Amino acid sequence: MRIPTLIGTSLATAAAGAIGSIVTRPAVQTWYPRLRKPGFVPPAWVFPVAWTALYADIAVTSAVTIDELDADERAAYVAALGTNLTLNAAWSWIYFGKGALGTASVAAAALTASSADLARRTAAVNPPAGAALAAYPAWCAFATVLSTSTWWLNRGRRVRAG
């Protein structure tokens, strides 16, 4: 793995994480605590711990993978990574920024599919890196179930002010 590649993937994942954090914080301090949530929602501290670990995982496994690809394959992988990180940040904006829980459930499903595709692409090039990245689509699938369950429990309610 080359350091410049790791810097690039780290900056990209950090940007997605920063966007998520910026749009999440106000909601968590205002309307989100008032939502009805399923009994399997983890404690609040789990989310920043999980996402920090996952973003680090994405940055490292993607850097390892990118450096093993030829130019055409590299471009396709970088496009898949960019799409994934865009979906990642978009989910936070849709859910926490807009309070559009139903739409966010669809976005979460798209993010799960994109994450599974990224893990598949990674595993095809570097099986240990692909195995390391497997936690990402698993977490996104859980987040999809959680997001959809929360939407279902709150359907018909206005979930945020403004």
Task: Set out the domains of the chain in order of their start, with CATH numbers.
Answer: 3-154 (1.20.1260.100)
In tens, the pLDDT along 34-46 reads 999 999 999 999 9
pTM: 0.93
CB 74: neighbour CB atoms within 10 A? 15
Sequence-distant (6+) residues with CB within 8 A of 10 are 59, 63
Among 130, 80, 99, 122, smallest CA distance to 28 is for: 99
80, pLDDT greater than 90: yes
- Strands (E) in the chain, as ranges, are none
Q: What is the mean pLDDT of residues 3-20?
A: 97
The pair of three-digit structure tokens given for residue 80, joined into one six-digit string: 């898949």
Structure tokens at 49: 């711990």
Can you tell me the mean pLDDT for 67-81?
97
- pLDDT value at residue 156: 84
Q: What is the DSSP letter of 43?
A: P
